[in-house]
Structure 1
């Protein structure tokens, strides 16, 4: 047995692509991977967003490289991955973070809206994984991390498309593990709980019913932070997780383990 070393958590020289790594959870994960030694690559839909994120990375001393492409466009993704391989290196770590949510009651949601959410939150993750897997196979190792959700396990009002996509993403994670594990490729998911980001700020105001609901449903009695996700991301990107495959690590403060307080 090889003696354990903390160096197994290091990512020195690894190329990590974080889709949608321009703010929030994606940006937080990317900065943690950079701290562990990875070369960071990220994308967005516009050059303006890529440039703004570049400045944010530079403020932290991170030399990240941004690319403009749509994760649902298979040809554009293939071209971008080829360009990344030529300019930065073969991708060692893919974090499938990009996604959207539309909070619309099911009877009011159009099929077009439903398809858009599934296309971005599930089909786009498939397209990204498909594009990076050949390079990982040739290299003899690789890590794919799909950003799942508690909605990979639970349903809730107004998020039928999101829950369907995230449930599918959990099963895509297991299938990638099943199909490519023999190539020393590990595909796992991270399932964030309710995370404090600028997007959730209005919901977290004191006295807001949803804020009270989340605090009551979380054994940790607080919202999570982006920092709470960083350790899980580094672990699943590193050699320390080489025998962890097809798993979804829920970083949720215990919500999924908890039935709630007795009234």
Structure 2
């Protein structure tokens, strides 16, 4: 029988987090490092990644990589395996946003969003899973969204991408779970990040609307997502797979 707190420990795990230099990705890295994992942050901006690693300390490192460079996924996993160790947990968190009326969203813009969120995530998943199958151990975590769960106007490409993630989680989990690999997602509600503060502080009406439909009547904190990520990648959730977990203060069930 597992015991507390070791059941929530990530000691011995190597976690690769895409989009890990800022925001929710960095919040997950903070919590996972605190839980004992070795964390590798992946992103396009070296200075941002280096600053995050400096904050996180000796248990963290980074690799510069654009997830849309699909042919580079295998080389990235090989490099991390060589320099840090076999990746035991992949967090597909990298993403881009596009706020635009649906009828003004071009096919090229739509495809760019899908390439980052979906095709890039699949490339990394495909690169990392063979090793996990060989070791019969691994977790894959996606950052979904409230847009995965209900309609939000002016973000049709983002909605399509985040909704596809929910389907990928179900499909991957049924295919990989027999090999000891669990696949889940977190669907964050409105979280207080630097980006959300910039968006909401200058728009009190929008902020009031968001808080008005949030049963807890407040924004979440980045660490709320971070600790949920620890749970879903730790032995505490060893019988949990194929799940999209809302961490949203009740938004997805409230009225």
TM-score higher than 0.5 here? Answer: yes
CA, structure 1 residues 26+203, in 2 after alignment: closer, same or farther (shift >3 Å)?
same
2:252 aligns to what? 256
Cα distance between partner residues in 2 of 1:43 and 1:207 = 32
CA deviation string 1:104-135 (max 9, x = no partner) = 00011111101111111111111111111011
The Cα of 1:62 is off from its aligned counterpart by: 4.1
Question: Judging changes above 3 Å, is the alpha-carbon distance between structure 1 residues 106 and 222 closer, same or farther for their aligned structure 2 residues?
Answer: same
- What secondary structure, in the 3-state scheme, does the structure 2 residue paired with 1:218 have? coil
Q: Aligned to 2:234, which of 235, 238, 255? A: 238
Note the residue ranges of structure 1 that are not aligned, 5 or more in a row.
none
- Contact preservation (8 Å) 1:34, 1:62: no
Quote the Cα distance in structure 1 between the aligned partners of 2:153 and 2:48: 34
Per-residue CA deviations over 1:147-174 (Å, capped at 9, x if unaligned) read: 0011111111111111111110000001
Count of equivalent residues: 255
Aligned runs of 1:207-222 on 2, under 5 Å? 208-222=204-218
Corresponding residue of 1:135:
131
2:220 corresponds in structure 1 to 224
Q: Offset of 1:100 from its aligned partner?
A: 0.8
SS at 1:190's partner residue?
A: strand
In the other structure, the counterpart of 1:198 is: 194
Identify if the C-alpha distance between structure 1 residues 168 and 8 changes in structure 2 by more than 3 Å, giving closer, same or farther.
Answer: same
Match of 2:122 among 120, 126, 141: 126
Inter-CA distance 58–110: structure 2 relative to 1 (3 Å threshold) = same
SS in 1 for 2:252: helix
Residue 40 of structure 2 aligns to a residue whose secondary structure is: strand
Superposed displacement of residue 204, structure 1: 2.4
- Is the contact made by 1:31 and 1:62 (CA closer than 8 Å) also made in structure 2? no
Aligned counterpart, 1:58: 54
- Higher mean C-alpha displacement, 182-191 vs 119-128: 119-128
Change (3 A) 1:231 1:63: closer
Does residue 1:161 correspond to 2:160, yes or no? no
Report the TM-score, using the length of structure 2 for normalisation: 0.96
> Which 10-residue stretch deviates more, 82-91 or 5-14?
5-14
| Kept after mapping to 1: 8 A contact 2:17/2:91 | yes
Distance in 1 of aligned mates of 2:2 and 2:145: 35
Query: In the alignment, does 2:99 pair up with 1:99?
Result: no
Measured after TM superposition, the shift of residue 74 of structure 1 is: 2.2
What is the aligned partner in structure 1 of residue 30 from structure 2?
A: 31
Preserved contact between residue 149 and residue 163 of structure 2 (Cα < 8 Å): yes
Secondary structure of 1:78's aligned partner:
helix
Cα distance, 1:138 vs structure 2: 0.9
What stretches of structure 1 move > 3 A for 4+ residues in a row? none
Shift of 1:202: 2.5
* 1:147-158 map, 5 Å: 147-158=143-154
CA–CA distance in 2 between the matches of 1:3 and 1:222? 35
Gaps of 5+ in 2: none
Cα RMSD (Å): 1.3
Distance 1:115 1:34, change over 3 A: same
Q: Hey, what's the Cα distance between the residues in 2 that align with 1:60 and 1:42?
A: 10
